[in-house]
Structure 1
């Protein structure tokens, strides 16, 4: 989740509806300036007993953050606590139970973003060896209850932890027990944003299937391939889901702004977090927010609010792809390759649109509901299973990356990063199903095997 730094106090107050929409419009960039942002989360565990470290304890999360400053990372504080790091490779931040996240810098090509991830993983593993901690690349804590997990000292998390049980049964699981990989991509214009949003939202369940990696809960199979994805179905209906209005005529910046105005607030930030959970940003615009009477929001408040919706694809000043479970280094590189191939080449984008343009809203909802359990065995609108559909879409992504022709020093283009997805589609077996095979086979039903076979 986003890391908030204190502002200068000079952020402009929102004066009109145009100010709300300007955040999206300012994200428009010519194709030559499109960049790739890759984020990934991982679970942290003590090597000796697989326990999740707290923030304060010896060798815990605070110690991990401090140790990473040797690589040039600069601490970000909330009060007296270091809660994040910033540097040339983006930001390192903490999820609510200490899941460790790299939010990478916006980079030109996939060779750069994969190298950035490798640098980060090398750093945390080097530090982890000295602290006696390891890092796990799956989408869900495989053996931890909520009660066994620590809470990080971040003000927005206190607010969310109180609010989540009021609006769904699994919001606390989302906060405490999940990890994801995410890709952030640019658009050239409002029309380009709309087309990319529609294609990526329709195909987000395919990404969920390809990256499904959360089949265990409390030490046993949970009946899902992506339980992380299932968790989102009962987290908070006001701020999650497939957003059917995206496919309606007239969708664009204004319609997304209206959606966000209807999403209840979590907080406002004024030298610290103020609990505004359940209150209306529309009231804030009128100066009628009960916790800040007479105040009107700034653009920083609006950007904060945009970060509190969690649909499968999210719009800020770029588009965020949010459907994938956490996983190992090669899949962290594969996710941006998949989306860049589809969305950053005009011919590929048109081809992907041709595949999904006839899907109905009912199709979208059905597919989203089936994929967490069925993975690649889920059926598309014309009865094609997702393994078959995935091969078609991956060929389109492959062609898109070939057209980009971004080469590394060895002369390879970006298509090399799709290789893990080719293996998955050829076998028809998701990462979750491979973990289940290990559980029922070599692990002998002992979940501790995951700390050996799914670690970074």
Structure 2
């Protein structure tokens, strides 16, 4: 999740909200690729989740990255909660999941090299501590009461609120991991097409990257339990955004939706002020109960935009949010998949032709089917295997057109299409086979 945003000064005109998104428009020559990937740290001796404090801890890793590798610390009160360096940042999810939000880079090869460099730095510190990291979509065994809580005011507020608005919110916060990519758009029309394609194809990403068939120490009946969790979180701020496919979709329509999402907080002077359930529309009128008489800044708006969690999210770029974290091959294949589809116009146009006939019920049905059955899922007469095969072929063509050899990074997805199995299927086969039902063996199997 996000660190406090720096979005700008006072909001003096309602039109500034949509204008802030329009400011993200870039010519194709300036398009970049930003990846984000989360991972669970665990103590190798006990398989317990990595605590915040101690000799082997989240804090020790952050301090080690600061001291040994030149990262600049991000503090909240006296606690180190993140790091920045050369356009990238390391941040913490609520349960200590270690996240790299990568720098905006030119090629998928560069994102892969960034991943490898980050993991090498982390391993140099974690190994002597007796710590490893897992690439998997949901914690296989840990229960909620076992999870550490990171010292971030934002998360304390959200934890309380999540329990009131959905059935799975705290599970998402503390016990899931994702990999995503952030991509640019050139215009409002380009944003709309990319958002529609990315929303319609998020179930494909969920299916291809599904890696979370275990939860609470047992089978959960889904191949992506992480995706199932998102369907039980908070309907006001999650989902497939049916309005995005309606006539008139644009920056203002997205702003109108975000304005109707209840607030979590306002960030002031290094502290998070409780604004749970309050309205940003009231804030614009100086009527926010948390800060009566005060008007918001563009930084407040940027913060609020980070508290909506649809399957694809728009800020000054578009975030693809449907995939489970996984092994190294899948972590670098996720940006490859979406760049191939989004950054070549022929591939993007063909992808829209592929999905434009799907109605809202089918799109939602595919979302559910992907979480349960991955590539074996179907809804509304659409088979995810066939849709995934077509999408990967288009992505491959888009990658070839870029002329950088990035299409080689799609290999894990092509392997899944050839076999019909994804990471979750491999883990289930091990569980029922050589592990003999011993879930303790999953840690080594998914270590990065």
Q: TM-score range by the shorter chain?
A: over 0.9
- What does residue 284 of structure 2 align with? 285
| Contact 1:182–1:321 (CA under 8 A) maintained in structure 2 | yes
- The counterpart of 1:56, out of the listed 46, 53, 56, is 53
Query: More deviation in 362-371 or 251-260?
Result: 362-371
- What does residue 149 of structure 1 align with? 147
- What does residue 426 of structure 2 align with? 434
- What does residue 209 of structure 2 align with? 211
- What does residue 439 of structure 2 align with? 447
CA distance in 1, matches of 2:8, 2:317: 21
Shift of 1:388: 2.0
CA distance in 1, matches of 2:4, 2:252: 25
| Contact 2:83–2:89 (CA under 8 A) maintained in structure 1 | yes
Structure 2 gap segments, 5+ residues each: none
Query: More deviation in 65-74 or 246-255?
Result: 65-74
- What does residue 350 of structure 2 align with? 351
CA distance in 2, matches of 1:384, 1:198: 17
Shift of 1:114: 0.6
Shift of 1:380: 5.1
| Alignment TM-score, normalising by the size of structure 1 | 0.96
CA distance in 2, matches of 1:173, 1:115: 31
| Contact 1:89–1:116 (CA under 8 A) maintained in structure 2 | no
Deviations 1:379-411 (A, max 9, x none): 254x342122211111110110111112xxxxx
| Alignment TM-score, normalising by the size of structure 2 | 0.98
* Aligned pairs for 1:262-341 within 5 A: 262-271=260-269, 272-341=271-340
Deviations 1:236-294 (A, max 9, x none): 11100011000000000000000000000000011110010100000000000011010
| Contact 2:369–2:377 (CA under 8 A) maintained in structure 1 | yes
Tell me, what secondary structure is at the counterpart of 1:234? Answer: coil
| Contact 1:380–1:389 (CA under 8 A) maintained in structure 2 | no
CA RMSD of aligned residues (A): 1.1
Shift of 1:89: 5.8
Structure 1 gap segments, 5+ residues each: 407-412
Shift of 1:57: 2.2
CA distance in 2, matches of 1:18, 1:405: 40
| Contact 1:93–1:102 (CA under 8 A) maintained in structure 2 | yes
Tell me, what secondary structure is at the counterpart of 2:99? Answer: strand
Tell me, what secondary structure is at the counterpart of 2:426? Answer: helix
Spell out structure 1 runs of 4+ moving beyond 2 A. none
CA distance in 2, matches of 1:129, 1:366: 43
CA distance in 2, matches of 1:136, 1:230: 20
Tell me, what secondary structure is at the counterpart of 1:269? Answer: strand
CA distance in 1, matches of 2:51, 2:45: 15
Query: More deviation in 363-372 or 246-255?
Result: 363-372
CA distance in 1, matches of 2:54, 2:48: 12
- What does residue 409 of structure 1 align with? none
CA distance in 1, matches of 2:87, 2:305: 23
Tell me, what secondary structure is at the counterpart of 2:180? Answer: strand
Shift of 1:59: 1.4
Tell me, what secondary structure is at the counterpart of 1:424? Answer: helix
| Contact 1:201–1:313 (CA under 8 A) maintained in structure 2 | yes
| Contact 2:366–2:384 (CA under 8 A) maintained in structure 1 | no
CA distance in 1, matches of 2:217, 2:232: 22
Tell me, what secondary structure is at the counterpart of 1:68? Answer: helix
Aligned length: 446
